[in-house]
Structure 1
Amino acid sequence: ELFAARRGGGAVLNGVPIRVADATSLADGTVSLGYSLRVPVTSMLPLFDKLLNARGMYQRHGSGALGLAWTAAGRLIGYLEPHMNSWDCLAGLLLVEEAGGFTNDFLENNGLLDGNPVIAGPKALEAEFARLTDHW
């Protein structure tokens, strides 16, 4: 599979346009969660509590780039990770944005050099994802 995106030009998978999932609730699909040893393990616990109590489902692939690409293609309803480096996520964030989704402002607070949390998914879930990750 070849995912590609260009700012203002949309996102494609093998040359076919892709869109984020049409999810409006955490119960509408699966969220991919990433984890980094750069943050305490306990930073994930409130997220699990909130997600599971909202009837959400999650999985972990071990690849943030893949989680973002699958979110852009609508296979997942979102990708959340408390810390990623810019070189691991900027292309995936563009995929999600060009596929009609939202992403957090990864570049704020020197994210290009220091990394930041990654929050991405359908625009209808932006407030819900903000609630899940408000402790980050």
Structure 2
Amino acid sequence: MQGSANLNVMIKAARSAGRSLVKDFREVENLQVSSKGAGDFVSKADITTEQIIREMLMEARPTYGWVGEESKPVEGKDPTRRWIVDPLDGTTNFLHGLPHWAVSIALEHKGEIVSAVVFDPAKGELFWAEKGNGAWMNDMRLRVSGRSKMIEAIFATGLPFGGRADLPETLRDLARVLPACAGVRRWGAAALDLAYVAAGRYDGFWERRLNSWDMAAGLLLVKEAGGIVEPLHPEGNALEDGEVICANEALFNRFADVIRAA
């Protein structure tokens, strides 16, 4: 595996975090049947994992900034670079004992993601990319799918939960997309959804109300695998707005037209 010094640090941190999460994940099934439940335990696992990643990254690059899900952002002495980290993407899956969750680490330079790691410890899949050097899973080069017919395509998204206000929009999206494609999947981890687009497993992905750490690494994976990534609203900014759409080149325009039809 050839990568920059920064990428190697990111991979090392992701693997270390993954080992910690796997140990915690083994406890979740037992906690499911307790009266207290697994929620508190998983919250602690999330926080502990972020601490592991943060210590490793900030020790290696102490001047870089930091944005993480479980801690306050830090402005680095080098204002052009910052880490964007989700220590456990797919927390609800983790909580319910579902082996579909990941560690996501991205490096931003001057407002652009330049290095990315998404690690799925449960399946042993390490997705990584650097700007201009392609996207990879373990030692295999990734390419987005070659499908060109909407009716043969599978897309991924997230579904609002807990009474979120964007439920009507998402239901309208589904009403337009489902008749036009082979299916829509909702697996509950945006970082892996994007990695799967990069790997050609999904043909496209869209979602609203994401955080930057949910998708920062995944966006670069898709781009480096040959996909097209845009904000849901063309004049917007995906990382800032939390809304994104992506697909392979052959499908993107038709897919985007369907989603943006509202």
User: TM-score if structure 1 supplies the norm length?
Assistant: 0.87
1:64 aligns to what? 190
Structure 1 position 54, deviation (Å)? 1.2
The alpha carbon displacement at 1:126 in A equals: 1.4
Moved more, 49-58 or 66-75: 49-58
Counterpart residue number, 1:35: 159
Q: For structure 1, list consecutive stretches of 5 or more residues without a partner in the other structure.
A: none
Q: Structure 2 residue aligned with 1:52, among 178, 188, 206?
A: 178
Indicate whether 1:126 and 2:237 are aligned: no
Q: TM-score, normalised to structure 2's length?
A: 0.47
Specify the alignment match of 1:23 in structure 2.
147
Q: Deviations over 1:87-121 (max 9, x none)?
A: 11011010000000000147x64654x43211111
Deviation by residue 1:42-87 (Cα, 9 ceiling, x = unmatched):
0112211111221441110000001000110001111111221111
Q: Number of residue pairs matched?
A: 135
Counterpart contact for 1:39–1:83, Cα < 8 Å: no
CA–CA distance in structure 2, aligned partners of residues 13 and 132 of structure 1:
30
Assess if the C-alpha contact under 8 Å between 1:26 and 1:51 holds in 2.
no
1:123 deviates by 1.0
* Partner SS for 2:208: strand
SS in 2 for 1:96: helix
1:97 aligns with 2:211: no
Report the Cα distance in structure 1 between the residues aligned to 2:182 and 2:165, rounded to whole angstroms.
Answer: 23
If you compute each CA radius of gyration, which structure gives the higher value, 1 or 2? 2
Pairing of 1:108-127 with structure 2 (within 5 A): 109=236, 111-112=238-239, 114-127=240-253
Task: Output the CA distance in 1 between the equivalents of 2:242 and 2:165.
Answer: 11
Structure 2 unaligned residues grouped into runs of 5+: 1-124
**Matched residue, 2:42:** none
Distance, in Å, in 2 between the alignment partners of 1:50 and 1:115 is: 23
Query: Larger relative contact order (C-alpha < 8 A, sep ≥ 6)?
Result: 1
Fraction of identical pairs, as percent: 37
